[in-house]
Protein backbone atom coordinates (compact mmCIF):
# COMPACT_ATOMS: atom_id res chain seq x y z
CA UNK A 1 0.00 0.00 0.00
CA UNK A 2 1.38 3.44 -0.92
CA UNK A 3 2.33 5.62 2.04
CA UNK A 4 1.28 9.23 1.50
CA UNK A 5 1.49 12.09 3.98
CA UNK A 6 -0.28 15.44 3.85
CA UNK A 7 1.82 18.19 5.41
CA UNK A 8 0.14 21.50 6.19
CA UNK A 9 1.92 24.71 7.14
CA UNK A 10 1.02 27.73 9.26
CA UNK A 11 -2.55 28.76 10.04
CA UNK A 12 -4.04 25.76 8.25
CA UNK A 13 -5.00 24.41 11.70
CA UNK A 14 -7.63 27.18 11.63
CA UNK A 15 -9.41 25.91 8.52
CA UNK A 16 -13.15 26.16 9.02
CA UNK A 17 -12.94 29.42 10.93
CA UNK A 18 -10.14 31.23 9.05
CA UNK A 19 -11.37 33.51 6.22
CA UNK A 20 -14.09 31.02 5.18
CA UNK A 21 -14.79 33.09 2.04
CA UNK A 22 -11.35 32.05 0.77
CA UNK A 23 -10.63 28.76 2.53
CA UNK A 24 -14.12 27.27 3.07
CA UNK A 25 -16.09 26.28 6.14
CA UNK A 26 -14.84 22.72 6.65
CA UNK A 27 -12.19 21.81 9.22
CA UNK A 28 -9.21 19.91 7.89
CA UNK A 29 -9.82 17.11 10.41
CA UNK A 30 -13.33 16.50 8.98
CA UNK A 31 -12.01 16.61 5.43
CA UNK A 32 -9.16 14.23 6.29
CA UNK A 33 -11.56 11.73 7.91
CA UNK A 34 -13.65 11.72 4.71
CA UNK A 35 -10.54 11.36 2.55
CA UNK A 36 -9.34 8.33 4.54
CA UNK A 37 -12.80 6.74 4.26
CA UNK A 38 -12.85 7.28 0.48
CA UNK A 39 -9.26 6.27 -0.34
CA UNK A 40 -8.73 3.07 1.63
CA UNK A 41 -6.09 1.95 -0.88
CA UNK A 42 -3.55 4.41 0.57
CA UNK A 43 -1.85 4.52 3.93
CA UNK A 44 -2.63 8.17 4.64
CA UNK A 45 -1.23 10.35 7.40
CA UNK A 46 -1.43 14.02 8.26
CA UNK A 47 0.91 16.51 9.94
CA UNK A 48 0.41 20.22 10.59
CA UNK A 49 2.75 22.77 12.12
CA UNK A 50 2.98 26.52 12.40
CA UNK A 51 6.74 26.22 12.81
CA UNK A 52 9.04 26.24 9.77
CA UNK A 53 11.72 23.98 11.33
CA UNK A 54 9.13 21.38 12.34
CA UNK A 55 7.91 21.22 8.73
CA UNK A 56 11.50 20.70 7.56
CA UNK A 57 12.06 18.00 10.22
CA UNK A 58 8.93 16.15 9.04
CA UNK A 59 9.92 16.43 5.34
CA UNK A 60 13.35 14.96 6.20
CA UNK A 61 11.81 12.23 8.39
CA UNK A 62 9.45 10.88 5.71
CA UNK A 63 11.40 11.92 2.63
CA UNK A 64 13.38 8.71 2.11
CA UNK A 65 10.69 6.13 2.90
CA UNK A 66 7.24 7.46 1.92
CA UNK A 67 5.80 7.22 -1.59
CA UNK A 68 4.50 10.77 -1.68
CA UNK A 69 4.17 14.07 0.14
CA UNK A 70 1.23 16.40 -0.47
CA UNK A 71 2.51 19.73 0.80
CA UNK A 72 0.63 22.94 1.49
CA UNK A 73 3.39 25.05 2.99
CA UNK A 74 0.89 27.95 3.27
CA UNK A 75 2.64 31.30 3.84
CA UNK A 76 6.07 29.60 3.94
CA UNK A 77 5.54 28.73 0.27
CA UNK A 78 6.39 32.33 -0.54
CA UNK A 79 9.30 32.81 1.87
CA UNK A 80 11.06 29.58 2.81
CA UNK A 81 14.34 28.77 1.11
CA UNK A 82 14.75 26.12 3.83
CA UNK A 83 11.62 24.18 2.86
CA UNK A 84 12.56 24.48 -0.82
CA UNK A 85 16.02 23.05 -0.05
CA UNK A 86 14.49 20.22 2.03
CA UNK A 87 12.36 19.16 -0.94
CA UNK A 88 15.46 19.19 -3.13
CA UNK A 89 17.31 17.04 -0.59
CA UNK A 90 14.81 14.18 -0.31
CA UNK A 91 13.80 11.35 -2.64
CA UNK A 92 10.03 11.24 -2.06
CA UNK A 93 8.08 13.18 -4.71
CA UNK A 94 6.27 16.26 -3.46
CA UNK A 95 3.01 17.61 -4.87
CA UNK A 96 2.49 21.27 -3.95
CA UNK A 97 -1.12 22.16 -3.22
CA UNK A 98 -3.03 25.31 -2.34
CA UNK A 99 -6.66 25.73 -1.45
CA UNK A 100 -6.95 29.13 -3.13
CA UNK A 101 -5.71 30.21 -6.55
CA UNK A 102 -2.64 32.05 -5.35
CA UNK A 103 -2.14 33.60 -8.80
CA UNK A 104 -5.48 35.37 -8.52
CA UNK A 105 -4.39 36.97 -5.23
CA UNK A 106 -1.71 39.41 -4.06
CA UNK A 107 1.53 39.47 -6.04
CA UNK A 108 3.62 38.18 -3.09
CA UNK A 109 1.65 34.91 -3.34
CA UNK A 110 2.78 34.38 -6.94
CA UNK A 111 6.30 33.44 -5.80
CA UNK A 112 6.87 29.84 -4.62
CA UNK A 113 10.03 28.24 -3.25
CA UNK A 114 8.25 24.88 -3.50
CA UNK A 115 7.23 24.76 -7.19
CA UNK A 116 10.72 24.44 -8.78
CA UNK A 117 11.33 21.26 -6.80
CA UNK A 118 7.81 19.80 -6.82
CA UNK A 119 6.67 16.99 -9.07
CA UNK A 120 3.50 18.99 -9.76
CA UNK A 121 1.35 21.82 -8.46
CA UNK A 122 -2.42 21.85 -7.87
CA UNK A 123 -4.14 25.00 -6.69
CA UNK A 124 -7.44 26.79 -6.58
CA UNK A 125 -9.81 23.85 -6.13
CA UNK A 126 -10.52 24.34 -2.44
CA UNK A 127 -9.89 21.26 -0.30
CA UNK A 128 -10.39 19.21 -3.47
CA UNK A 129 -6.83 20.26 -4.41
CA UNK A 130 -5.60 17.68 -1.86
CA UNK A 131 -7.83 14.97 -3.33
CA UNK A 132 -6.63 15.68 -6.89
CA UNK A 133 -3.04 15.47 -5.65
CA UNK A 134 -3.76 12.12 -3.99
CA UNK A 135 -5.26 10.77 -7.21
CA UNK A 136 -1.93 11.43 -8.94
CA UNK A 137 -0.19 8.73 -6.86
Residues that bind ligand DQA (CB under 6 A): 11, 72, 74-75, 77, 98-100, 102, 109
Active site residue 23: yes
From the candidates 46, 76, 98, 130, give the one annotated as an active-site residue. 98
Between 1 and 122, CB nearer to ligand DQA: 122
Report in angstroms how near the CB of residue 45 gets to ligand DQA at its nearest: 19
Q: How far is the CB of 77 from ligand DQA (least distance, A)?
A: 6
Angle between helices 52-62 and 81-89 (to 10 degrees): 10
Q: Is 98 a catalytic residue?
A: yes
- CB atoms inside a 10 Å sphere around CB 128: 14
DSSP letters along 46-81, please? EEE-S-HHHHHHHHHHHTTT-SEEEEE-GGGGGT-H
CA angle 105, 53, 45 (to 5 degrees): 80
* Shortest distance (Å) from residue 109 CB to ligand DQA: 4
The residues carrying an active-site annotation are 23, 98
Amino acid sequence: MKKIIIINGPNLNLLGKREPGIYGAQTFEDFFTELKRKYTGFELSYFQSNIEGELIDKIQEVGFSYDGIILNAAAYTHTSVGIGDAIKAIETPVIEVHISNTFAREEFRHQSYISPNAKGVILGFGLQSYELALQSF
